[in-house]
Amino acid sequence: MFQNNPLLKQLKKNLHKQTPRVEGIVKSTERGFGFLEVDPQKSYFIPPKNMKKVMHGDKISALLKIEKDREIVDPEILIEPFLKRFVGKIEKKDNKLFILPDYPFLKDLIIICYPKKNCTNLFQTGDWAVANLVQHKLNGHSVFSAELIEEIVKSNDPLTPWWVTLSRHNLDKKEPLIKNQDFILKDNHFKRRDLTNLDFITIDNLNTKDIDDALFIKETNDGNFCLTVAIADPTAYIESGSKLDIIASKRGFTNYLPGFNIPMLPRELSENICSLIPNERRPVLACSITINKNGNISNIADFFLAWIISKEKLSYEDVSNWIEKKGCWEPSKKSIQNQILLLYQLCLSRIKWRKLHAVLFKDSLEYRFQFSETGKVKNVVVEKRRIAHKIIEESMIIANIVAANFLSKNLGFGIYNIHSGFDCINAENTVSFLKNYNLKFTAKEIMTLKGFCNLRRVLNILSNDYINSRVRRYQSFGDFSTTPSPHFALGFSEYATWTSPIRKYSDMINHRLLKSIITKEKTIKPNEEIKLKISEQRRKNRIAERDITDWLYTILLQKKEYQNKKFSAEIIDVSRSGIRAKIIENGANVFIPALFLHPIREELILNQEIGQVFINGNLCYKVSDLIQIILCEIRFKTRSIIAKPEY
């Protein structure tokens, strides 16, 4: 009789207001209890019985209570669940389906409700699936439950790391499939120069099929170089706004993963019709550029549409071996030999020029997984950037510099690759850090392109890996812009890529803009939305590649031959809980917990800011150090590898 009493309702409302409440993110622990993190400095204890109402990562509002002279919280309202759409492993019990989310801190099975017809018979323990969380305990339900959306892969499938990771990040698993699509040339009305008689060559990996750049070079009468860069032209077949164009814009990139790639465009286009396959006539967007013998690029660049026939597909390994006088491979004819030698001379002149005027990259090792025919990981091989890689790299850099300049002069917009160097705070931090090593710069100086390049050149000469790693930590991340802006990390006032339109949608956009200038057609400035979409897709692709790589390393390093083996590893990061290192032999990232560095925690200081580890006040480890390690544990749940120093 009192349930609708207005006085009682008001009393409850007042009591609710008086009860202290806090809002934050749930953090679980291995031992069943948890914490509600309100901000980085403040958190509240969640007892094990209360943790059963929530999941790690949930954003909640909770009642603040005192229990046994200790502040605790009791979860009350779910603001935002951590789990929404997720991937997990199926477990079948008593003819019922459960799913274990693929997250390290989530260890409880979630019951599957609302299954599709015959769903129970379709799934077995160990299968992987995508699910949606549909019931949460804080929403008045007695259990957490989920609804299956789709099957990912069956138990023990060797391709599990790829399909699960791609599903987690909601990335495509196959090339675009366009039914009844005839790929015909859409811009036949534009005049193309006939360059089919010139000795264009391509240099790629041996197994590359999506060949998007070909080069032709000649020496001028005054000893300069005239380089013609011919780039595959998918926009000749794909109209702006078409179904395939929209698909490509959503994908953003060809996704290169260990073992295979997932193309941005149908393979019929990317690996056949548009690919600059040897001895096939192909439409291209081309640019002729003059570079003097000192490596300076002419201000005048000639962009045009053309037809070419690549005369030969060369491999990085063969070209590098021939230049370095190794092995027995030789170019098939004198004209091809001449092309390689001129490109080599151009490459050396540009490396010398960039060393003096821009920024040179430090050569780094690359690691490639080897697989069996059934897709099981067998080994990892180390690959170095050799001279043929640098020839192509320098040629593409030249092409992208002149494209950025051409777009800026004629339009004032495009898709530019930018890097802002340091922001104000990190510039001050960098200057303060460098003073410790008697390197005197000012924040104002290194925030200019000229000053940044000078700093990088000084650091290259100094060749101190520790100092380099700390300075890189302060640098900004690369980004895209629709208006011209410097790329500090390369050392150029502007930079716009157009040399990989088969693989990058941003390059397709720049192709259309360059072609509109050539053909004098109306142009539309790319909007901010497409720039943000491309950036986000690049981020997701990189995370997916990293996740698959980590998974493959946990599979590989469990083999007997790696147990108790001593590895050389480089320290790449220091955190409060330990250090991360990369094994030089195979590229695997490992974690060394603080306990393995020194058994007495009070005597150990791990300083993340400066990347150094002190024991009893003595510096013992720092980022860039090479240390000897052995593997202790492979954790499949977190796809992590635990190691300890070997003294």
Residue in this structure with the two tokens 């917009």, named with its chain if needed = 413
Residue 480: strand, helix, or coil: strand
Handedness of CA 424, 426, 432, 436 (dihedral sign): negative
Q: Quote the distance between the C-alpha of residue 241 and its chain's center.
A: 27
Q: Hey, which residues are catalytic here?
A: 204, 210, 212-213, 316, 503
Residue in this structure with the two tokens 């396959």, named with its chain if needed = 277
Q: Quote the distance between the C-alpha of residue 627 and its chain's center.
A: 27
Nearest to 252 by CA among 266, 265, 236: 265
Decide if 387 contacts 339 (C-beta within 8 A): no
How far apart CA 590 and CA 625 sit, in angstroms, is 14
Q: Quote the distance between the C-alpha of residue 330 and its chain's center.
A: 37
Neighbours of 254 (CB within 10 A): 20
Nearest to 632 by CA among 617, 618, 611, 646: 646
CA distances in angstroms from 621 to 322, 520, 615, listed in the order given: 42, 61, 9
Q: Pinpoint the alpha helices (H) of 324-386.
A: 334-357
Task: Give CA angle at 354 (474, 488), nearest 5°.
Answer: 30
Decide if 459 contacts 468 (C-beta within 8 A): yes
How far apart CA 1 and CA 628 sit, in angstroms, is 77
Beta pairing, strands 59-67 & 416-418: unpaired
Residues found in the chain: 647
Identify the burial level of 6 via C-beta atoms within 10 angstroms of its C-beta, where 0-12 means exposed, 13-18 middle and 19 or more buried: exposed
Q: Pinpoint the alpha helices (H) of 61-129.
A: 119-122
Residue 322: strand, helix, or coil: helix
| Token representation of residue 283 | 């439409």
How far apart CA 630 and CA 619 sit, in angstroms, is 22
Beta pairing, strands 42-46 & 128-135: unpaired
